[in-house]
Structure 1
Amino acid sequence: MNAAARKIQRVYLTLTLGNTLATSFIWGINTLFLLDAGLSNLEAFAANAFFTAGMVLFEVPTGVVADSWGRRVSFLLGTITLASSTFLYYLLWQWSAPFLWWAVVSVLLGLGFTFFSGAVEAWLVDALHYSGYDGGLEAVLGRGQMVSGVAMLGGSVAGGVIAQATDLGVPFLIRVGVLVAMFAVAFLLMRDVGFTPERSAHPLRATRSVLKASIDGGFKHPPVRYIMLAAPFTEGVGFYVFYALQPYLLQLFGDPRAYAVAGLAAAIVAGADIVGGWMAPRVRQRVRRRTTVLIVSNVVSSVILVVLLFTTTFWLALVLLALWAVVGAAGTPVRQAYLNDMIASKQRATVLSFDSLMGSSGGVVVQPLLGRSADLYGYPASLAVSGAVQLLAAPFILLSRRQRSQADTASDLTAAT
């Protein structure tokens, strides 16, 4: 890796570290926070569904910002929007607000995250290409996932410990402060290179153009289309399981106020991100086709969720959940690299945002349904159902594999279309 590419990687890792640290302070206690505000399981996961609905609604419009005004502008807007909506969440908890207000602010939280999705990854890939980097994307994306895992581990555990020492609202205030600090860091360090924004004076026309580019550059391209169609099942289940683990682990542990234990849910996923990010490029050295990694990851993680139905021991559940998270995390950089190697630079942020939209759309439907199953049959049964739902992604990955895209076996940036 040359000096210019190394500098790009450092900025990317810095942004990933700070942004994940900021957002992860509440990840270990978010479901408990919603339940403490007086919401039922159905309402809590419906609030999460409104969050993902916000991501669905705003993915394309914020893609216009990333492609028309720049990926840096998109990141800066994301930090401010997410900080503001997080503070509103804190106020709703203080006021024990009715569900309607939780739904509205959850949509705003989704808006904040859409400014990030696609933009940072597109910024990285284009900047690496511009700098002359010709190595495999899995290596850099894997490092990013490892850094994200470290930040998430620290943030989620700290959030749980702080909540137990103070109250459930304090981690939300800490998140606001760190996001404001990240605005300053991004303003100073992040510059769009290898990409020239195409500014438009007609936002609605630009939105239609971006949506068309998303479909033409992504959905009409068969190997990309099938990977996107798998996303609603994997992402929808991922959203639910991540937040259901908090009350599930507390239930197994036997102490409903052991918030530090609840933080273990996010800590498990964070540790898995570190291990998975380290594994991804090494797995790719031994497995010829990227889709092989994705299929194995999907099937194994689905089976583990079903096994949790029969698990009543807290420590055994922790081991199984850690294994589930590692298997999924090892496939994430491979999926990212596979998609990026099939997308042209000009539409990269747009198509990646559309892919995120597809995943979020699954969360809108899956989370409240699985939350309702937890109300009716308990968390173990809802996790087993989650495994069955996630397995529905496997046929779509197989269909993508059958297209025999060059990206399936590529190992460097030169394969990008």
Structure 2
Amino acid sequence: MNSQARRIQSIYITLMLGNTLAASFIWGINTLFLLDAGLSNLEAFAANAFFTVGMVLFEVPTGVVADTVGRRASYLLGTLTLAGSTALYYLMWQISAPFWAWAVVSALLGLGFTFFSGAVEAWLVDALHFAGYDGTLEAVFGRGQMVSGVAMLGGSVAGGVIAQATTLGVPMLLRAGVLVAMFVVAYLLMKDLGFTPDRTTSPGKVVRGIWTSSIEHGLRNPPVRWVMLAAPFASGVGFYTFYALQPYLLELYGDPDAYSIAGLAAAVMAGAQVVGGYVAPHVRKLFHKRTTALIGGTVISAVVLLLLGITDAFWAAMVLLVVWSLIGAAEMPIRQAYLNDMIPSKQRATVLSFDSLMGNAGGVVIQPALGRTADVYSYGTSLAIGGAIQLLAAPFLIGSRRQHSPADTAVTVPGSPVADTVEPPDEELKR
């Protein structure tokens, strides 16, 4: 690896470290924070749903920023938006704000994250191509995930401990402060390489172009389309599970005020991200096709959620949580590499943002629905139903596999998407 490619990876890892550390201060206590503010389970998960509504609504408009102003600019706007909306969260908790206020600010949080989605990942891939990087994408994404896992481990444990020692609002203030620091870091280090923003057309025309590109290179591209259609089920259930585990583990533990236990759930997922990021390239080598790993992981994860929902033992739930987290963490870099290998560079940020939109759309519906199930029945029942919903993603992944995309068997992509290369010979398709 040359020095420029190494520097680009270092900047990417720094951004992932800072972003995840900031976010993870509240990941372990977010649901408890909302419930402490006076919201019911339905309202708390509805607030989370409005967060995903914000991501759905703003994915395309913020894609305009990434494609016309620059991906660095998009990242900088994201840090400022998230810092401001996090500060508003703290203020609403202080005054016990009504639900509508939580809905509005949650949507603003979603806006902040849409500035990140697609833009940072596209910035990395294009910059690596510009630098002449010839390694595997799984390795790069895996390293980023490992660093994110370390940050999430430290941030989530610290957030839970700090909340227990002080109040549930202090981790929110820490998050806002780290985001401001990341604005300064990105402003100094991040440069758009291998990509030239298009500033020659009007925003309206750009929006129409983004939708056209999203459809053309996303939903009209069969192997990409099937992966995107699987996203609402997997992502929606994943969002709910992450936040529902906080009160569920406290319920199994028997102490509703043990906030450090809630932080432990996020810490387990963080540790799984570190391990999953490390093993992802090795897991990839075990399967000739990437879709084999994705389909198998989806099915096993669904079964684990079912078992997690029916157990009544705290430590058994922790073991199942470890297994569920490890599978998801090992799958993610493989999925990222698979998608990136099928998308042209010029449309990469657009299509990745549209993929994020598809996953968030599932969260808009699934989170409040499962939250209501928890209100009426129990958290365990809602998790078991979530496992059944996640299983619905498997047929779509099978649909992608049946397209025999060269990206399914690719090892690395030097520049142009594998989707643009020639089809493999028939004997290769049969493996």
Please give the TM-score of this superposition, normalised by the length of structure 1. Answer: 0.99
Cα deviation code 1:248-307 (max 9, x no counterpart): 000001110100110011111111111110111001122110000000110001000001
Work out whether residues 234 and 390 of structure 2, in 8 Å CA contact, stay in contact via their aligned partners in 1. Answer: yes
The answer to whether structure 1 residue 272 and structure 2 residue 272 are counterparts is yes
Cα distance in 2, alignment partners of residues 21 and 397 from structure 1: 32
The aligned residue for residue 37 of structure 1 is 37
The amino acid across from 2:357 in the alignment is L
Cα distance, 1:224 vs structure 2: 0.2
Cα distance in 1, alignment partners of residues 8 and 329 from structure 2: 23
Cα distance in 2, alignment partners of residues 3 and 286 from structure 1: 30
Please give the TM-score of this superposition, normalised by the length of structure 2. Answer: 0.96
Cα distance in 2, alignment partners of residues 67 and 205 from structure 1: 12
Cα distance, 1:309 vs structure 2: 2.6
Task: Tell me the percent identity.
Answer: 71
The aligned residue for residue 324 of structure 1 is 324
What secondary structure does 1:81 align onto?
Answer: helix
Cα deviation code 1:160-201 (max 9, x no counterpart): 000000000000000000000000000000000011010145
Cα distance in 2, alignment partners of residues 201 and 76 from structure 1: 22
The aligned residue for residue 423 of structure 2 is none
Aligned 1:295-310 pairs, distance under 5 A:
295-310=295-310
Cα distance in 2, alignment partners of residues 283 and 30 from structure 1: 32
Cα distance in 1, alignment partners of residues 68 and 213 from structure 2: 13
Work out whether residues 150 and 271 of structure 2, in 8 Å CA contact, stay in contact via their aligned partners in 1. Answer: yes
Aligned 1:141-220 pairs, distance under 5 A:
141-200=141-200, 202-220=202-220
Work out whether residues 237 and 390 of structure 2, in 8 Å CA contact, stay in contact via their aligned partners in 1. Answer: yes
The aligned residue for residue 61 of structure 1 is 61
Cα distance in 2, alignment partners of residues 140 and 88 from structure 1: 35
Cα distance in 1, alignment partners of residues 205 and 85 from structure 2: 28
The aligned residue for residue 102 of structure 1 is 102
Cα distance in 2, alignment partners of residues 329 and 40 from structure 1: 30
Cα distance in 1, alignment partners of residues 148 and 55 from structure 2: 21
Cα distance in 1, alignment partners of residues 200 and 179 from structure 2: 29
The aligned residue for residue 71 of structure 1 is 71
The aligned residue for residue 52 of structure 1 is 52
Work out whether residues 65 and 73 of structure 1, in 8 Å CA contact, stay in contact via their aligned partners in 2. Answer: yes
What secondary structure does 1:257 align onto?
Answer: coil
Cα distance in 2, alignment partners of residues 298 and 52 from structure 1: 22
Cα distance in 1, alignment partners of residues 132 and 201 from structure 2: 33
What secondary structure does 1:26 align onto?
Answer: helix
The amino acid across from 1:381 in the alignment is T
Cα distance in 2, alignment partners of residues 201 and 413 from structure 1: 31
Aligned 1:10-409 pairs, distance under 5 A:
10-200=10-200, 202-409=202-409
Work out whether residues 310 and 384 of structure 2, in 8 Å CA contact, stay in contact via their aligned partners in 1. Answer: no
Cα distance in 2, alignment partners of residues 271 and 380 from structure 1: 23
The aligned residue for residue 427 of structure 2 is none
Work out whether residues 200 and 206 of structure 1, in 8 Å CA contact, stay in contact via their aligned partners in 2. Answer: no
Cα distance in 2, alignment partners of residues 267 and 64 from structure 1: 35
Structure 2, unpaired ranges of 5+: 421-431
Cα distance in 1, alignment partners of residues 175 and 201 from structure 2: 34
What secondary structure does 2:27 align onto?
Answer: coil
Cα distance in 2, alignment partners of residues 273 and 258 from structure 1: 24
Cα distance in 2, alignment partners of residues 395 and 231 from structure 1: 12
Cα distance in 2, alignment partners of residues 378 and 280 from structure 1: 34
Cα distance in 2, alignment partners of residues 205 and 159 from structure 1: 44
Cα distance, 1:209 vs structure 2: 1.1
Cα distance in 1, alignment partners of residues 293 and 42 from structure 2: 34
Work out whether residues 27 and 156 of structure 2, in 8 Å CA contact, stay in contact via their aligned partners in 1. Answer: yes
What secondary structure does 1:198 align onto?
Answer: coil
Cα distance in 1, alignment partners of residues 227 and 200 from structure 2: 30
Cα distance, 1:412 vs structure 2: 0.5
The amino acid across from 1:372 in the alignment is R
What secondary structure does 2:167 align onto?
Answer: coil
Structure 1, unpaired ranges of 5+: none
RMSD: 0.8
Distance change (3 Å), C-alpha of 1:378 and 1:200: farther
Cα distance, 1:69 vs structure 2: 0.9
Tell me the number of residue pairs that the alignment of Structure 1 and Structure 2 aligns.
Answer: 417
Work out whether residues 87 and 172 of structure 1, in 8 Å CA contact, stay in contact via their aligned partners in 2. Answer: yes
Cα distance in 2, alignment partners of residues 412 and 257 from structure 1: 48
Cα distance in 2, alignment partners of residues 370 and 285 from structure 1: 36
Cα distance in 2, alignment partners of residues 340 and 379 from structure 1: 36
Cα distance, 1:310 vs structure 2: 2.4
What secondary structure does 1:199 align onto?
Answer: coil
The amino acid across from 1:112 in the alignment is G
What secondary structure does 1:25 align onto?
Answer: helix
